[in-house]
Structure 1
Amino acid sequence: MTFPAPFRVFSPFSSTTIIVPRAGARPLRVETVKARAAAPKTGSFGLSAEPRPAAQKITVRVPVPPPASVLYVPTPKGLVRSESYEEWLDQAARRLNAQKPGRIGAIYALDVIAPRNARTRQFGALERPLVELLARCRIVRRGLPPEKFSATYGAGAELALTISNFPAA
């Protein structure tokens, strides 16, 4: 069974289509775009489709996040990320991607070596920004917190992160 189309389509040019919705209506002109080459199909989705290889252990250096008191700001709709937190995420993501880390595809352990200063005084406040950074850079799956989180004081002006596969018990 065929259904009559409520409009007619004219194609006088190869890149332009003129559509007349009904008799007496103003014609619509639709420009078509050039076809882009498709990404190669791997049959995988999510982190397994990433071109970076999976790794057992990754060690990277990132700058110290802003203090916990300025990570989020209150708005009428609730808490949102502050500008300083967004800037830190952008800069840290660029720096992290420049180190070309691999990815961790399973549950993981996160070990942090932090400099002793006012920003790193609360180790619990370090976990959330670091997990968000790792998820943004697609090193770990989004929304997956570490199975083990440990933090110690060490030398240096920035954080040294070691992300490793957590052995399933």
Structure 2
Amino acid sequence: MTNIVPFSSFTPFSTTTIIAPRSGGVTRAVKVEKAKLRPAAPKTGRFGLAAEPRPVARKIEVKAPPPPAAAQLYVHNGQSYVRSEVFEHWLDEAARRVIAQKPGRMSGSYALEIVAPRTTRTRHFGVMERPLIELLMRCRVITAALSPDRLSVSYGELGGELSLTLTEFSAP
């Protein structure tokens, strides 16, 4: 039996056989399967960083590679300054390394302590703050564009990585 209306089904929302007329008068049966349900993410009723499964931490310690030199961070595109390809590449690689350390997240104001090796890339402390904040935002360790309430940068470690320590900030 051929239905008058093509693609109508006898039992909707289940495994059905659809019969549709083809040109030349030949009909063909097509089996359609119901979509399988996928497990949904648990609903917390919160959005943004508050909905992250990572716990809120009072102290976070991570290692990260030093950012590119100050002259390589941004380029002028004719109208404004944008991130350079070197900076974007560093952000991607550094984010992978930080996320692999599985840091917690900061819920509010924080103090940032940076211990850097003494190299030519780390001799300008003032330039290191912005790239590292963008790295921590990309890794969702801190909320968007939240600068530290206290920043401490010093030379100390040997090796090629920066040691970042974020602690919960409470005003004295």
TM-score interval, normalised by the smaller of the two chains: 0.7 to 0.9
Aligned equivalent of 1:53, options 52, 55, 62: 55
Counterpart position of 1:125: 127
Residue of structure 2 equivalent to 1:161: 164
How far apart, in 2, do the equivalents of 1:48 and 1:11 lie? 46
Matched position secondary structure for 1:84:
helix
TM-score by length of 1: 0.78
Distance of 1:148 and 1:11 partners within structure 2: 66
After superposition, residues 1-150 of structure 1 pair within 5 angstroms as 12=8, 37-150=39-152
Task: Measure how far apart 1:149 and its partner are.
Answer: 0.7
Letter in 1 for 2:169: F
How far has the Cα of 1:168 moved from its partner? 3.2
Identify unmatched segments of 5+ residues in structure 2: 1-5, 14-34
Give the drift of 1:133.
0.3
Q: Larger deviation: 76-85 or 59-68?
A: 76-85
Instruction: Tell me, in whole angstroms, the C-alpha distance in 1 between the residues paired with 2:8 and 2:123.
Output: 70
* Superposed displacement of residue 36, structure 1: 5.0
- The offset of 1:38, in angstroms, is 3.2
Whole-Å Cα distance in 2 between the matches of residues 11 and 103 of structure 1? 52
Q: Structure 1 segments of 4 or more deviating over 6 A? A: none
Match of 2:22 in 1: none
Residue 138 of structure 1: how far off its partner (Å): 0.4
The 3-state SS of whatever aligns with 1:149 is: strand
Distance in 1 separating the partners of 2:112 and 2:47: 24
Q: SS of 1:39's equivalent?
A: coil
Aligned sequence identity (%): 54
Q: Quick one: which amino acid aligns to residue 108 of structure 1?
A: Y
| Unaligned residue ranges in structure 1 (runs of 5+) | 1-9, 16-33
Q: Deviations over 1:69-98 (max 9, x none)?
A: 110000023111111100100000000000
Greater Rg by CA: 2
Scaled by the length of structure 2, the TM-score of the pair is 0.77
Residue by residue over 1:54-74, the C-alpha shift from the partner in whole angstroms, topping out at 9 and shown as x without a partner, is: 100011100010001110000
Output the aligned Cα RMSD.
2.0
Give the whole-Å Cα distance in 2 for the aligned partners of 1:89 and 1:36: 33
